[in-house]
Structure 1
Amino acid sequence: FHNGHKLPRKGKNYHILKKGMVLQFQPVKVVDRGWYHCRVGYGSLGAFESSRALLTVLAKAEIINKVQLSRPREEYVGSVIHLSCKVAGIPPPVVEWRRNGNL
């Protein structure tokens, strides 16, 4: 089970192997995160045992939109400018700005 829903025996990036005893992801994706439940028992007797695990998937920090200036900027004192650096990652990455290599 994944987040309470029964998994098909085969998905786009996972397989259930060894008579149901192994759930293998290749490659693991962000959408795979969540709770997984393994349930075993005899349905006709109504006796089941289960175990669960939380899968957390991390995603490498990356810059989506790099800071770009087509030319050096010249602005008057008191002007307002915006430089943006859009990032993505799990957990959300920390963004630091530096000026001439210094914080």
Structure 2
Amino acid sequence: MVEREESESDLNAIFGALANPTRRALVEQLAGGPESVGDLAEPHDMSLAAVSKHLQVLEDAGLISVEKDGRVRRCHLDAAPLSDAFGWLTRYRVFWEDRFDALEDHLEKDGQ
């Protein structure tokens, strides 16, 4: 039971972090490779402090890791939690595909 609660908690954190468009954009930026916080902040119309708060949410969800290199903080994407979220979504994709197939069969049967 504890494992399921932890897994649900992890998914809540992942989906909560990805619910924000700025954080999704940051994840997309990091998909191209590690970047400094300053480089990540550059394309966004917000303060460095605001971007840092978004990065903290992503880090808390396990989606990124941050390492200090002198005065520079470099962020790295961790794709493993995204894989967990994709796995959860895939289960429901299969569920809905099965439902739509059944509906199609039903409609074809009624149409004959």
| TM norm structure 2 | 0.28
Q: 1 or 2, which has the higher strand percentage? A: 1
Q: Which is bigger in relative contact order (C-alpha 8 A, separation at least 6)?
A: 2
Q: 1 or 2, which has the higher helix percentage? A: 2
| TM norm structure 1 | 0.29
